[in-house]
Structure 1
């Protein structure tokens, strides 16, 4: 399955009740599962982003639907990146090089 990296920032609504954060994370995992995805890793981070999520989904449409679903809560905003493994990278370079 394709891998995705989401860069997450907490919105004001998310930080006001940060003690509910772990439950919101569990709910986000359930939303992901409902769209065929799985969260592989969650990291609380320092710097420009508050958290990083690494997940796998069947396709771009599935992660888009899952993301739109949990963004409706209004506690986070995300930037989603499609990630390619080293093997996928090598295949892409080989195919582009002909």
Structure 2
């Protein structure tokens, strides 16, 4: 299944609710699973421009897009989701472009 990385940035009003982070993670995980996805990389808290990162898999781009839309509606965080590739997938993409 295609793999996605999502970077989460908590809005200011959610910064005061950090004690609820584990509950927020569980809600997010349930949403991913409801859209046919799977949390494979777990939830990583971070110090920097983003507050957390999640690695997920979805059966297709449509499922990932639906999850992003549903997640945005919960207002848990401002999320940036992007498709990532394994080294093998990435090198195959490069090879295809170079051969053209």
Give distance in 2, aligned partners of 1:35 and 1:12: 28
Structure 1 residue runs without a partner (length 5+)? none
Q: In the alignment, is residue 51 of structure 1 matched against residue 52 of structure 2?
A: yes
| Structure 2 match to 1:66 | 67
Q: Secondary structure at the match of 2:53?
A: strand
Contact 1:13 1:75 (C-alpha < 8 Å) held by counterparts: no
Give 3-state SS (helix, strand or coil) of 1:23's partner: helix
4+ residue stretches of structure 1 with deviation over 3 A?
none
TM-score for both structures, normalised by structure 1 = 0.90
Instruction: Tell me, yes or no, if the aligned pair for 1:38 and 1:56 is still in contact at 8 Å.
Output: yes
Per-residue CA deviations over 1:20-68 (Å, capped at 9, x if unaligned) read: 2211110111111111101112110011111111111111211111122
Unaligned ranges ≥5, structure 2? none
User: How many Å apart are 1:88 and its aligned residue?
Assistant: 0.2
Number of residue-to-residue matches in the alignment: 98
CA–CA separation in structure 2 for the residues paired with 1:39 and 1:66: 12
SS in 2 for 1:49: coil
Distance 2:75 2:66 in 1: 15
Normalising by structure 2, report the TM-score.
0.89
